Amino acid sequence: MPKKFIKRYLPDPHSIKENRALKIFGSILHEPNLWHLNRKSASGAFGIGLFFAFWPVPFQMWLSAATAIPCRVNLPLSVATVWITNPFTMPPIFYGAYLVGSTVLGTKSEAFHFEPTWDWVVSSLSTIGPSFLLGCGICSVVFGLTGYYTLNWLWRFSVRKAWQLRKEKRRQAQQNQQ
């Protein structure tokens, strides 16, 4: 089940190899393991994608791709998973990361008003920055590991269930023949 579900939403490997942004990786993209979808490559890619999804930087997909390539996990899934943090989900996710960081640091959560200016970013680094960055780091590790182990478990569960169904069908077919 996970393999069919994941394959349905992944882009074609040929289109990714031809992507201009990924040309910096050169012929290393022709490594077959980067496109193969199995339990190890899928769970690793999911973990890497979730890890970088919580980094508050504009080039998360490149970081995810650059990590997926030497780890030899599924590249499209790794890059696609980063999009869990998109323009619609970033505010609540990053606010949650800020709350995690302020809880761990034991600081009081400060009310702040976002302004899309460079001055606001620079000034907020000293006030909410430490809590926010620590929370992003904690969430990054926790959700990356949780995603890896959860997908690994789901994959194993799905394969085990498929084997049991096949075994049951064979048993029923043998009973019908007798």
pLDDT in tens, 145-169: 999 999 999 999 998 998 999 999 8
d(Cα 13, Cα 20) in Å, to the nearest integer?
14
3-state helix, strand, coil in the chain (%, to 5): 80, 0, 20
pLDDT in tens, 6-22: 667 666 666 766 777 66
DSSP reduced 3-state for 113? coil
d(Cα 148, Cα 165) in Å, to the nearest integer?
26
- Per-residue confidence (pLDDT) for residue 46, from 0 to 100: 94
pLDDT in tens, 114-148: 677 777 777 777 788 888 899 999 999 999 999 99
